[in-house]
Amino acid sequence: MISKDKLAKLLPQALDETNLPLSNRQSGKVRDWYDLPNGQRLIVTTDRLSAFDIVLARVPFKGQVLNQLSSWWFAQTQDIIPNHIVSLPDPNASVVCVAEPILVEVIVRGYITGVTATALWYRYSLGERDIYGYQFPEGLQKNALLPEPIITPTTKGGTTGHDERLTCTEVVEKGLLDAKTWDRVQAAALSVFKRGQELARKAGLILVDTKYEFGIAADGSLVLIDEVHTPDSSRFWKADSYEARFSVGEDPENFDKEFVRIAYADEGYRGDGEIPEMPAELWTSASERYITIYELLTGEAFVPGAYPIEPRLIENLKEAGVI
Ligand SMILES: Nc1ncnc2c1ncn2[C@@H]1O[C@H](COP(=O)(O)OP(=O)(O)OP(=O)(O)O)[C@@H](O)[C@H]1O
Ligand SMILES: [Mg+2]
């Protein structure tokens, strides 16, 4: 593991944005991407950390972890569904096939938890018992295992709105997807989630819930795109302490980026008003956490790429013939 001191020194060098010698950069909260002349896309995962829909900080090695961990999961699930990965020319970059993203974010949940507006536990705690079209019994406890994983779709918020909750029937009724494609999406999502739970369990973790994005490739086939089972797109809990904590009503030990949200909430920030300044220690801890989760899940040692990232990235892209 890289020392805290080293991580602290790297904080100012964490990758904020890229300016590659390609013409058409686009950016999301975490990724920059460029359309390549051959019709493929170069996605660079930066070190930006977002929560509450805001970029809060840059965390050394976060981009590398997300890129390499997603790639690992794509490989572990390609027998279930094809994915967008073509190659990884750099620890922070993937060349992918461009797909037409479907307009639904496919969230799969194995437990009832969460305190944001779209979370199951939050809705349940408001007294709702019909949530996302599913009936929930009385007397459930926060963080309880559901009888089986369920899909709780939302609309893809895009640049304007927030994600809107949908039921599985509404996906088709609202014309977001035809029934046949939606059936295939649901089946694939549940199988990938099951594989994720099995592999996470071997790593001593519980895959609690996650978000998938699917797209339609140029040949019309359904593909898994974006990222898979990363600490950004998923909740992970420590498996060995879950039961004991659950039985006394304590929250599980989380192993994702939830602790960043909690640190902000402790300062009174939940997404509105002035953003509090956080100590560098929070971001070096975040870095350690991302690296640890990579190593736990993949069972491989994390090999840190050189900083600063951009010159290295350009070198690697040239070598791979991408630029
Ligand atoms: N193979 C692909 N083809 C087309 N679009 C893709 C592909 N893979 C990922 N994307 C899109 O690229 C973007 C990745 O950027 P990033 O993760 O930074 O976005 P974001 O700010 O999280 O926004 P979003 O909420 O849409 O994910 C997402 O909008 C995702 O839908
Ligand atoms: Mg995203």
Q: Give the per-residue pLDDT at 258.
A: 87
Going by alpha carbons, the residue nearest to atom 6 of ligand 1 is 226
**Ligand 1 pocket check for 31: Cβ under 6 Å:** yes
pLDDT score at 162: 72
Count of C-beta atoms within a 10 Å radius of residue 1: 12
Q: How far is CA 26 from CA 81, 213, 222, 227, 258, in A?
A: 27, 18, 24, 17, 27
Residue 23: strand, helix, or coil? coil
Per DSSP, helices labelled H in the chain are 4-10, 62-77, 120-125, 168-173, 179-202, 242-247, 258-266, 280-298, 309-319
Which residue type, as a one-letter code, is found at position 279?
A: P
Judge if the beta carbon of residue 224 lies within 6 A of ligand 1: no
Name residue 66's amino acid: L
User: What pLDDT, on a 0 to 100 scale, did the predictor assign at position 271?
Assistant: 85
Q: What are the φ/ψ torsions at residue 50 (nearest 5 degrees)?
A: -115, 145
Q: Does residue 82's CB lie within 6 angstroms of at least one atom of ligand 1? A: no
188 alpha carbon to ligand 1 midpoint, in Å?
A: 19
What is the pLDDT at residue 256? 87
- Residue 195's pLDDT is 99
Average confidence score pLDDT of the chain: 96
Cα atoms in the Cβ-side hemisphere of radius 13 Å centred on 302: 26
Question: What is the average per-residue pLDDT within 264-290?
Answer: 94
Reported pTM: 0.97
% of the chain surpassing 90 pLDDT: 91
| 104-127: average pLDDT | 95
Average pLDDT on 277-303 reads 97
Report whether 42 contacts 322 (CB < 8 A).
yes
pLDDT at 96 over 60: yes
Q: How many CB atoms lie within 10 A of CB 263?
A: 19
Question: How does pLDDT run across 236-266, given as a tens digit for each residue?
Answer: 999 999 999 999 999 999 988 888 988 998 9
pLDDT of residue 309: 98
For residue 30, which ligand has an atom nearest its CA?
A: 1
Integer-rounded Cα radius of gyration of the chain: 20
Enter the DSSP assignment of 13.
G
- Taking only the tens place, the pLDDT of each residue in 155-201 is 986 555 678 999 999 999 999 999 999 999 999 999 999 999 999 99
The residue whose CA is least distant from atom 19 of ligand 1 is 28
Report helix angle 280-298 to 258-266, nearest 10.
160
Which amino acid belongs to residue 172? Answer: V
Residue 4 confidence (pLDDT): 97
Q: Sorting pLDDT into bands at 50, 70 and 90, what band is 149? A: very high
- Please give the distance, rounded to the nearest whole angstrom, from the Cα atom of residue 141 to the centre of ligand 2: 30
Ligand showing the shortest atom-to-Cα distance for residue 225: 1
Q: Is 60 in the pocket of ligand 1 (CB under 6 A)?
A: no
Residue 1: the pLDDT is 85
Task: Give per-residue pLDDT as tens, 211-237.
Answer: 999 999 999 999 999 999 999 999 999
Ligand 1 atom at minimum distance from 158 CA: 26
Which one of 32, 58, 213 would you pick to mutate in the ligand 1 pocket, going by the greatest count of ligand atoms within 8 A of its CB?
A: 213
Position 115 confidence tier, pLDDT thresholds 50, 70, 90: confident
How far apart are the C-alpha atoms of 259 and 244, rounded to whole Å? Answer: 20
Closest CA to ligand 1's atom 29:
28
| The token pair that represents 291 in the structure block | 């690296």
CA distance 239 to 251: 12
- Indicate whether residue 163 lines ligand 1 (CB < 6 A): no
Q: What is the pLDDT of residue 160?
A: 54
* Alpha carbons 9 and 3: distance in angstroms, whole number: 10
